[in-house]
Structures are given as structure tokens and as C-alpha cells.
A and B are shown apart, each in its own frame.
Chain A
Amino acid sequence: MSAADLPAVPDALAAAGSRRAGGGGRGVLWWAAATALGVLALVAFPGLLAPGDPYSLEVSNRFASPGSANLFGTDDAGRDILSRVIHGARYSLWSSILIVTFAAVVGTVYGALAAWYGGILDRLLMRTVDVFLAFPYLVFAMAVAASLGRGLTSTMVALCLLWWPSYARMVRGQVKSILNDYHIRAAVTLGASRGQILRWHVIPHTYNQLLVRFTLDIGNALVALTGLAFLGLGATPPLPEWGRMVADSKQFALTAWWYGVFPGVVIFLTVLNFVLLGEALRKRVEL
């Protein structure tokens, strides 16, 4: 119950006080565009960016330390870690984006409907959301992912199931307050239909906050997804999923530090990028 009324984690993070970060202006938009472009390039054309084949085994070259031949070194099967990390974006990063997209779309529709119809339906729908929000997400995701069988898809299904309720709650709150605005009354007076009002006069006003939340959440979903993959619930070998790579490196931690360090650095920097970008977008939206 109390969980539902709280500032979400990203809100608090953004409140971490970036007086300067972003600071409005055009910079944020360029940053967002660069991020989107980077993601697109990594996901669509990893082969062009990666120096080598992420799957080719070269046992004679196992545990090569980072150098000019293998910038991030090689793993226990002699595979180039840099190439694997680049190809891994398709699994780790893209899956996170899909999860959050699903959550945002389903949550928006659900929340908007609850706010629009109000009354018993609203209470029923939001009570359901509260139940979902009351689950401890990691344990629950583990249970769902383990039951559906191992694999990236079942982990994604598990996270999708758990992610949408927070969007439903956020959008419902927004729609409720927007519905009280004068421009809605004007539209009603002018005879606009329910669907028209919702589609053209309500939902567009939620986009700004949705975008901020969406950006921040990609980072959160990446942490969750790679965390579950680290526990063995996620992409199966030989897929170069980032969390899985860190997990596989565990037994070689003392002989080949680069094996786990580089995929971890990439996860960290990616999450950091989305969190800071989300923060900067919020700054701009609130101006």
C-alpha cells in the first residue's frame, strides 16, 4: 500500500540534485539523439562495429590479456571479449528496451482506462496494480523465469509481467489530474467524443513524463535483466549476454580479471548513460 504512494526510485535518483547536468538547452537533445543512434548501431549492425566474430573459438588464444590484438582480451574459449560485448547489446540492451516499451504501452493504456472510467472499475484495476507492486520483484522474477524454463525469452516475460504496474499507476495519476483541466471541459463542451478526448487531449500530455521515466527505466531494466542472467536465468550459452559473461567469468576471476571487468564496465556505463540522460531530460521537461 505505502509502496504505491512513493516517489519511484528514478525520481529520487534524479533528485540526486543535478544542478548542472544537462541544464536544459539543446545539449540534452543531441545527447538523446546520440544515445538513440548508438543503440541503433549496436543492435542493428553489431557486425560492422565488432572487430571479430563473437562465437569463433580459438583455444590456443584463451585468456589473452588485453592488447592490440584483443582490446578487451579473450575469454576461456579464446573468444574476443570486445566483439562479444558489442554483439551482446542485441541481447542485453535491446531486451531491456523491449521490456520497458511493453511496460510503458500496457501501463499507459491500463492507467488511462482506469482514470477515465473511474468508480468501481478504477478501484478494481488499481487494486490489482497494488497487488503486483507488493511483490518482491527479484524473487518473483526468479520464480517466473525458472518456471517458464531457462532462456532469455522467459526472463523477459517475467520482467514484463512485473514492470507495467508502475506505469499504470503513474499514468493514472497524471490522467486524473489532466481530466480536471479546463481544456478538457472545453473539449467536452464542444462535443468531442470520449475516444477523441483521451487520444488527442489527454494522452499527449503524459508523453513528457513517460519519456523521462522510459529513459531512466531502460537503465533499471538492464540492471534487473543482467542480474537475473548472472543468476543463470537469462540468455543461454553461447549467446554473449552481458550479465551471463560476468557470471561465466566468476571462476576465472583471479587468473583473468579482464573477463568479468569489461562486460561489467559496459553495463555500468550504459546504465549511467540512461540514468543521467533521463535526469537531464527531466530537467528540460520541467523547465
Chain B
Amino acid sequence: MRSAKPARFSKLARFSKGAAWLAVVVLVAVTITFALSRIVPADPARLAAGLEAGPEQVERVRQDLGLDDPIPVQYVRYIGGLLTGDFGDSLRTRGPILDDVVESLPASLELIAVSFSIFAVLGIVLGVVWAYWPRGVHAVLLRVVAVAGAAVPVFWVGLLLQILLAGRLGWFPVAGNLNHEAAGIAEVTGAGLLDALIARSPSAMWEAARVLFLPVMTIVIHNIALTIALMRSSLADQLDQEYVRAARARGLSEWRVVMVDALRNALNPVVTMLGLQLGWLLGGVVIVEVIFSWPGIGLYAFSSFQAFDYNAIMAITVLSTAGFVLVNALVGLIYPRLDPRIQEGG
């Protein structure tokens, strides 16, 4: 809280520190995955050339891909490629990996954005309800949700929902994303809900929501548990504090005391946790996408792993590591807004 100038300096310092950290983490991730991709038992050239290829053909592919160069040369070349945004070609789809990623990203982002908004908002609301009214049937139910939801394996919940709601009852499609052609809308962004919104087609919107429902519910069931639990304990702690009693004694409205003063303080750890969960979703979405054949980045990653497509595996590891670090850095930027005690210099 001094003059503006030092604060701006420290902001710049913080930014460059964060950028350097991102670079270090990604570099380590690249190095580890690169090392792994060169010690694997399978031969990438053989995979790329196809099963029917003879020895000479495999050799030619090896030269074309630069796999016969010394490992350090390959490493430097790979890093150089990354710096110019070139992740190499996929051995499986034969196209540039970046194109594949860009194509499958919208579906994943849609899934993550919808699930995250639901479990974040609903989790906070339910946690507040639980903390404010700690006794009653709802409290028992919330405790069951909080403990069971966190202990239940995601892949199994997905499977159960699929068997019950899609298979037996037929309320939802078993798997797959919105079929843009069948819904009669143009594919603009690749995310079904958005495209339906752009086309102003309520029926396509309904269809997109129906397709999203099961995967979203699977993610929400697992992730809402932690949000509810943490929100409850954090707010309950705050409600026990002296300042809350003081505020009540001064005659402030209950709403103002709980929802403004106490909640603001209680949200801090919850926001941190939500940021972490958002980071985890970047990876955790793989299982859900595989169960529901959701054509996003997770399914792409899974298929690449199945096919031992190293370039794609490395690209996905690098990209998701960068995403994870970035999300965590963004959460760090939200703190000072919630808690003025955390100043930018600190």
C-alpha cells in the first residue's frame, strides 16, 4: 500500500518469475517424456512405416523422421520445433499434431467448462447451506455425498450411469457427441452448445444438452464432493470467529454477516481448491471421455497411447502440463482480490 511504482515493478517481477517457472516445468516435462519415448521397447519407425513394410522401407522412414540421428540432435531439434509451435506429425492420423489437438479441443473445453461451472456453483451453495444449518436430514445427505462422492471411482460411476440412464431407461444417448448434421446446424466452434446457440436452434440446443448430460454428471458427482466438504468446513470456521459475533452485535443483517463478511473470507481456500480441480480436470477428463466416446482431447490422448503414437503422447503431456501450471498461476492472481492481506509484493 505504498506508492504505485514499486507495486508495478513487483507485478512485472512476479510475472517474469511465473513465466520462468512455467518454462522450467515444461522443459522438465519435455525432457522426461522425450527420454521415455527413446527408451521404449517399440520401434517408432516400424510403427510409422506400417505392418507390411519391408526392412528397407522401415529404414527409409527412419531416415525421413530423423530417428537415425544421435539422441541429443533429436532432442535439440524437438525443442526447436516446440518453440516454433511445431509438435511434429502424428504417426496415427499422419497429420500435424497441432491440427488434431485444435480439432478435438473444443469438445473437451465444452465438457470441462459446463461441468466445472455446475460443480463449483452448486458445491459452494450446498457447502454454505450445510455450514449454516449443520443439523437435519440435509446435513446427513450432504455428508454422504461429500464422503461417497470422493471415494467412488469415476470410471465406475460413468459406467453405472451409462447402464442405468442410457441403457435401461434410454433417457440419454449411450455415447458420442452431438451430430451437427443430424441436428441441422453448422459446425462453427466444434462445441455443440455454442454452435446451437449461434444457429439459434432450440432443438439442437436440447440435443446438445442431452448428449452432455451423462459425462457432465459423472464429473460433477466426483468433484462436487470436495467442494462441498471444503466450503462447509471453511465457512463453519469463519462463523465461529469473533468478528462474526461482533458484526451481529452491531446489528448488521444476517445476510450481510454470513454472505458478505464470512463467506468472503471462507472462499479463499475453496477458490484454491477449485483451481486445482480445474487443473486436474485437464487430465481427469480422459477417463470420462473414454467411457462416453466423447471426441475430445482426452479420447485423442487415449487413442494415441493405444497406438504408441509418441509424438502425440509427448505433445499432450507438454500441453497439459503447461495448462496445469497456467491454471494454477491464474488462481494465484485471484487471491489478492479475495484477501487484501495478500499483497502483490508478497
A69 within 8 A of B: no
CB interface residues, B 111-163, toward A, < 8 Å:
143, 146-148, 150-156, 159-160, 162-163
A-side contacts of B201, CB under 8 Å: none
Known: A12-B273, A17-B143, A275-B150. A135 touches B324 (CB 8 A): yes
Interface stretch, picked from B1-9, B96-104, B326-334, is B326-334
B25 adjacent to A134 (CB under 8 Å): yes
CA distance A223 to B302 in the complex (A): 18
Known: A2-B332, A136-B321, A139-B320. A231 touches B160 (CB 8 A): no
Smallest distance from the beta carbon of B21 to chain A beta carbons, Å? 6
Q: Which residue of A lies closest to B323 (CB)?
A: A136
Interface stretch, picked from B79-87, B189-197, B283-291, is B283-291
B-side contacts of A135, CB under 8 Å: 25, 29, 321, 324
B76 within 8 A of A: no
CA distance A271 to B160 in the complex (A): 18
Smallest distance from the beta carbon of A215 to chain B beta carbons, Å? 13
CA distance A276 to B144 in the complex (A): 12
CA distance A131 to B30 in the complex (A): 12
B233 within 8 A of A: yes
A9 within 8 A of B: yes
Size class of B's contact patch?
A: 35 or more
B313 within 8 A of A: yes
A136 adjacent to B154 (CB under 8 Å): no
Smallest distance from the beta carbon of B49 to chain A beta carbons, Å? 20
CA distance A257 to B164 in the complex (A): 9
B-side contacts of A9, CB under 8 Å: 150, 226
Q: Which residue of A lies closest to B229 (CB)?
A: A16
Known: A7-B269, A147-B39. A139 touches B283 (CB 8 A): yes
CB interface residues, A 6-39, toward B, < 8 Å:
6-7, 9, 12-13, 15-18
B148 adjacent to A139 (CB under 8 Å): no
Smallest distance from the beta carbon of B235 to chain A beta carbons, Å? 11
Interface stretch, picked from A53-61, A182-190, A205-213, A259-267, is A259-267
Q: Which residue of B lies closest to A268 (CB)?
A: B152
Interface stretch, picked from B52-60, B212-220, B246-254, B274-282, is B274-282
B28 adjacent to A275 (CB under 8 Å): no
CB interface residues, A 121-135, toward B, < 8 Å:
131, 134-135
Q: Which residue of A lies closest to B277 (CB)?
A: A9
CB interface residues, B 2-35, toward A, < 8 Å:
18, 21, 24-25, 28-29, 32-33
B306 within 8 A of A: yes
A136 adjacent to B162 (CB under 8 Å): no
CA distance A264 to B272 in the complex (A): 31
CA distance A268 to B157 in the complex (A): 10
Q: Which residue of B lies closest to A19 (CB)?
A: B134
A12 adjacent to B286 (CB under 8 Å): no
B325 adjacent to A254 (CB under 8 Å): no
B33 adjacent to A143 (CB under 8 Å): yes
B95 within 8 A of A: no
B317 within 8 A of A: yes
Q: Which of B153, B228, B280 contacts A267 (CB 8 A)?
A: B153
A140 within 8 A of B: yes
B61 within 8 A of A: no
CA distance A149 to B308 in the complex (A): 10
Q: Which of B143, B273, B317 contacts A139 (CB 8 A)?
A: B317
CA distance A181 to B49 in the complex (A): 65
A-side contacts of B328, CB under 8 Å: 1-3, 134
A219 within 8 A of B: yes
Give B290-318 as 1s and 0s: 1 = Cβ < 8 Å from A's Cβ atoms: 11000000000110011010000110110
A17 adjacent to B320 (CB under 8 Å): no
Q: Which of B160, B233, B320, B329 contacts A261 (CB 8 A)?
A: B160
Q: Which residue of B lies closest to A11 (CB)?
A: B230
A-side contacts of B275, CB under 8 Å: 2
CA distance A138 to B321 in the complex (A): 11
CA distance A234 to B167 in the complex (A): 28
Please report B residues at the A interface, Cβ cutoff 8 Å.
Answer: 18, 21, 24-25, 28-29, 32-33, 36-37, 39-41, 143, 146-148, 150-156, 159-160, 162-163, 167-168, 225-226, 228-230, 232-233, 236, 269, 272-273, 275-276, 279-280, 282-284, 286-287, 290-291, 301-302, 305-306, 308, 313-314, 316-317, 320-321, 323-325, 328-329, 331-332
Task: Show 17 A/B contacts (Cβ-Cβ < 8 Å), sorted by A.
Answer: A2-B329, A6-B273, A6-B276, A9-B150, A12-B233, A16-B232, A131-B24, A139-B282, A142-B313, A148-B40, A230-B287, A232-B306, A250-B159, A257-B163, A261-B160, A264-B153, A264-B159
Given A134-B321, A137-B280, A232-B306, 16 new contacts (CB under 8 A): A7-B273, A13-B150, A135-B25, A136-B321, A138-B280, A138-B284, A138-B286, A140-B321, A223-B153, A230-B155, A232-B305, A253-B159, A254-B168, A257-B163, A271-B153, A272-B147
